[in-house]
């Protein structure tokens, strides 16, 4: 076969275009048979001319090397998740929050024209992010914890709907979902059953499991689809999300065929209603709808919490329900002292998992349900949400479970805060179950990472009276450990090494997260530690402010830290018992300083920038220089933005937002000046 290199490239391009027609437009113009013949031809050319082969060639989807692990990928713009609503009242509350956030008066006859939503099915699959450089797929990553994901490029390439090359040579990052259709899932399971292999539980877990297989050849055999639903920095391509979705299809990125716009509350409400029936018709599992504010300018004004954007919400479809019998009631004491009832159930299958326990949240709920031993109850589970007991359908006893008056663990009389439903064990310092839960949490992954310090060892240390608080871990001796049943020479040595390593490798953010301050999780702790780099700095702040004056204000300056969280931290840090433990930690060498952020520490440290408009250098380059000086680049202007870097043809929306939030606007020359200033 004699072909030229340009004929080869044309053929590769032609197949790419057929792929797009099939997966993006669902309107192929050639048969599968013809497609396969062209692909075969491409393969043959590649065999005779291996040096011509391009990475984006449709014949290069399946790599041949199994991987040993997936490299980590750290992203600048975390993949957030979505806040959930389960009924119309909650959805209405979201809508009202959006209106308030945007200063739109619902009574204004013009209100309807000022806000548009996009309604999309919420696909119950596996979240991924694709990065295209000059239009060619460069990276596919999992969501992971939002900030750090895994590089699964080799696997995603095998999914035929994932374009390897776009119709524009753009740099763009898009996010979406990989999933299996119900029909494909059923077929896969039939084939497995016939081959005597174990069948899979549900399409979602199967898709997730498939993406994490180490051999791309195996992944290629799993029938998977992809739908993309967000572009990072979408405002580069259009003013609103709906237009961006159209642009995505235009360049070859598959989006859902079921996305729609809603212009008024009534419209939104009607669409949500219609979906209750329509969802059954979808070929894949959807666990709800995602409702997003369309305008990027409005999204910027609404901003985000550390977990969720305030401009979008997931509206979950009513969940599957089953009934089962309550065998017993267990009483749990959490690490913050909350005493919660848990129903022990006769095991029952619901939404693909076996449920044996259900949290009852608080004692008011037990009372309201009038729940007793042997009662048959109605259970509900929505997606990943913990099963809920909705009501008693058949009573077996007239003896409802009663709320305890004392802590099941330390027998201290329980307290209940005025107006709150939570019963609490006030014995924070020495209640064994609270201590156990907080020790375990302190040692856990993502916190202090003390290898080998699990529930059983924590329990043994507490039982032996060797540990009374987390600081005591750092004065354990080998002799003490050897006196316990659980330890021999080696295991004692290992634990001490792990504890010392945790002390030496800790960062301030991990220590802060490990202390388990209510509401302050890992993400918030990292944000705080970027501003206050050690416990000393944070304590200096609290000691320089009077109670309820200044601390909350200072903390909420930090992106991602809200009022409620700041108040919780203030309460924690002002507690004398906390201070005792913190002092002991310092005394015992646990006093980490937060390392310099990946963006580097420089004179722009702590400053947040938004870049917009046309500039003389590529944005990615400008972003790098800002980061090298310690600054952070985000996509939307909010009150937490310090500078808006505005190039030519800057959209009015960004400038208005900057004005509204008092953000300083820099032209390129001014930015260069700022970058040139050293500390």
Q: What positions carry a catalytic annotation?
A: 122
Which of 367, 376, 378, 370 is closest to 396 using CA atoms? 376
Q: Which is nearer to ligand IVH, 301 or 425 (CB)?
A: 301
**Residue of 119, 293, 312, 461 that binds ligand IVH (CB under 6 A):** 312
Name the segment binding ligand IVH (CB under 6 A); options: 184-192, 307-315, 419-427, 592-600: 307-315
Length of the chain: 679
The distance of closest approach from Cβ of residue 83 to ligand IVH in the complex, given in angstroms and rounded to an integer, is: 8
The answer to whether 28 and 12 are in contact (CB under 8 A) is no
Q: Which is nearer to ligand IVH, 255 or 434 (CB)?
A: 255
Name the segment binding ligand IVH (CB under 6 A); options: 77-85, 104-112, 188-196, 521-529: 77-85
CA 142 to chain centre: 11
Residues 160-179 that bind ligand IVH (CB under 6 A): 177
The distance of closest approach from Cβ of residue 153 to ligand IVH in the complex, given in angstroms and rounded to an integer, is: 18
Q: Which is nearer to ligand IVH, 312 or 422 (CB)?
A: 312
Q: Does 314 bind ligand IVH (CB under 6 A)?
A: yes
The distance of closest approach from Cβ of residue 607 to ligand IVH in the complex, given in angstroms and rounded to an integer, is: 24
SS3 239: coil
Beta-bridge partner residues of 345: 326
Q: Does 150 bind ligand IVH (CB under 6 A)?
A: no
For ligand IVH, the nearest residue by Cβ is: 127
Residues 210-239 that bind ligand IVH (CB under 6 A): 229-230
The answer to whether 234 and 297 are in contact (CB under 8 A) is no
State how far the Cα of 67 lies from the Cα of 215, in Å rounded to an integer. Answer: 6
H or E element, residue 485: none
Backbone angles phi, psi at 507, to 5 degrees: -115, 165
The answer to whether 351 and 319 are in contact (CB under 8 A) is yes
Would you state the structure tokens that stand for residue 670, as one six-digit string?
């001014």
Which of 481, 505, 483 is closest to 493 using CA atoms? 481
N- to C-terminal Cα distance for the chain?
65
The distance of closest approach from Cβ of residue 67 to ligand IVH in the complex, given in angstroms and rounded to an integer, is: 23
Strand-by-strand arrangement of the 632-634 sheet:
632-634, 608-612, 643-646, 664-666
Q: Does 122 bind ligand IVH (CB under 6 A)?
A: yes
Name the segment binding ligand IVH (CB under 6 A); options: 76-84, 322-330, 391-399, 656-664: 76-84
Q: Does 80 bind ligand IVH (CB under 6 A)?
A: yes
Backbone angles phi, psi at 56, to 5 degrees: -90, 10
H or E element, residue 320: strand 320-333
The distance of closest approach from Cβ of residue 238 to ligand IVH in the complex, given in angstroms and rounded to an integer, is: 17
Residues 262-301 that bind ligand IVH (CB under 6 A): 290
Within 8 A by CB and 6+ apart from 130, the residues are 137, 139, 140, 156, 162, 173, 174, 175, 176, 228
The distance of closest approach from Cβ of residue 113 to ligand IVH in the complex, given in angstroms and rounded to an integer, is: 25
- Count residues binding ligand IVH (CB under 6 A): 14
Q: Which is nearer to ligand IVH, 257 or 393 (CB)?
A: 257
The distance of closest approach from Cβ of residue 284 to ligand IVH in the complex, given in angstroms and rounded to an integer, is: 10
Residues 101-120 that bind ligand IVH (CB under 6 A): 120
Q: Does 94 bind ligand IVH (CB under 6 A)?
A: no
The answer to whether 428 and 436 are in contact (CB under 8 A) is no
Residues 177-216 that bind ligand IVH (CB under 6 A): 177
Which of 263, 308, 240 is closest to 85 using CA atoms? 308
**Residue of 309, 341, 372, 560 that binds ligand IVH (CB under 6 A):** 309
Q: Which residues bind ligand IVH (CB under 6 A)?
A: 80-82, 120, 122-123, 127, 177, 229-230, 290, 309, 312, 314
């Amino acid at each position: 076969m004699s072909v030229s290199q340009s004929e080869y490239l044309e053929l590769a391009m032609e197949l790419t275009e057929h792929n797009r027609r099939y997966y993006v437009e669902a309107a192929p113009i050639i048969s599968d048979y013809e497609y396969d013949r062209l692909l075969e031809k491409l393969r043959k050319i590649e065999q005779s001319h291996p040096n011509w082969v391009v990475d984006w060639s449709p014949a290069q989807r399946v790599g041949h090397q199994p991987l040993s692990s997936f490299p980590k990928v750290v992203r600048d713009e975390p993949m957030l998740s979505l806040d959930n609503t389960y009924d119309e009242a909650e959805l209405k509350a979201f809508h009202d929050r959006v209106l308030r956030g945007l200063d739109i008066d619902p009574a204004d006859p013009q209100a309807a024209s000022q806000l548009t939503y996009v309604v999309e099915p919420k696909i119950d699959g596996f979240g991924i992010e694709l990065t295209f450089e000059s239009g060619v797929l460069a990276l596919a990553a999992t969501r992971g914890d939002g900030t750090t994901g895994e590089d699964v490029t080799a696997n995603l390439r095998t999914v035929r709907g994932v374009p390897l090359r776009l119709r524009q040579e753009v740099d763009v990052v898009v996010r979406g979902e990989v999933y299996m259709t119900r029909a494909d899932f059923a077929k896969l399971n039939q084939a497995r059953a016939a081959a005597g292999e174990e069948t899979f539980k549900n399409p979602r877990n199967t898709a997730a499991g498939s993406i994490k297989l180490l051999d791309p050849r195996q992944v290629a055999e799993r029938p998977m689809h992809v739908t993309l639903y967000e572009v990072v920095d979408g405002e580069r391509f259009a003013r609103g999300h709906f237009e961006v979705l159209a642009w995505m299809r235009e360049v070859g990125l598959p989006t859902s065929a079921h996305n729609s716009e809603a212009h008024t509350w009534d419209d939104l409400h009607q669409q949500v209603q219609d979906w209750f029936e329509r969802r059954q018709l979808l070929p894949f599992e959807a666990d709800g709808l995602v409702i997003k504010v369309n305008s990027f300018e409005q999204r910027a004004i609404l901003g985000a919490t550390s977990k969720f954007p305030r401009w979008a919400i997931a509206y979950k479809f009513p969940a599957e329900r089953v009934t089962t019998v309550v065998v017993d009631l267990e009483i749990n004491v959490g690490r913050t002292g909350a005493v919660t009832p848990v129903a022990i159930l006769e095991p029952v299958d619901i939404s693909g998992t076996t449920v044996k326990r259900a949290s009852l949240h608080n004692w008011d709920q037990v009372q309201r349900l009038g729940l007793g031993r042997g009662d048959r109850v109605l259970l509900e589970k929505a997606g990943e949400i913990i099963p809920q007991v909705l009501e008693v359908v058949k009573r077996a006893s007239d003896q409802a479970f009663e709320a305890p008056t004392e802590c099941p663990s330390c027998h201290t009389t329980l307290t209940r805060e005025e107006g709150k439903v939570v019963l609490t064990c006030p014995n924070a310092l020495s209640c064994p179950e609270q201590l156990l839960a907080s020790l375990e949490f302190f040692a856990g992954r993502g916190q202090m990472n003390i290898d080998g310090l699990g529930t059983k060892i924590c329990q043994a240390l507490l039982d032996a009276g060797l540990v009374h608080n987390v600081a005591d871990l750092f004065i354990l001796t080998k002799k003490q450990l050897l006196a316990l049943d659980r330890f021999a020479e080696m295991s004692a040595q290992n634990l001490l090494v792990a504890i010392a390593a945790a002390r030496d490798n800790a960062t301030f953010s991990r220590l802060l997260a490990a202390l388990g301050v209510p509401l302050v999780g890992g993400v918030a702790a990292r944000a705080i530690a970027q501003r206050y780099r050690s416990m000393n700095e944070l304590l200096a702040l609290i000691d320089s402010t009077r109670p309820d004056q200044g601390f909350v204000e200072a903390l909420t300056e930090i992106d991602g830290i809200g009022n409620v969280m700041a108040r919780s931290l203030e309460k924690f840090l002002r507690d004398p018992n906390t201070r005792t433990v913190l002092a002991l930690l310092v005394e015992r060498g646990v006093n980490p300083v937060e390392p310099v952020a990946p963006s580097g520490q420089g004179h722009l440290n702590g400053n947040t920038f938004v870049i917009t408009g046309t500039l003389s250098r590529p944005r990615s380059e400008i972003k790098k220089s800002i980061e090298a000086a310690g600054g952070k680049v985000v996509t939307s202007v909010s009150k937490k933005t310090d500078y808006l870097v505005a190039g030519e043809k800057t959209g009015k929306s960004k400038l208005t937002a900057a004005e509204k939030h008092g953000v300083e606007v820099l032209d390129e020359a001014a930015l260069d000046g700022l970058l040139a200033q050293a500390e």
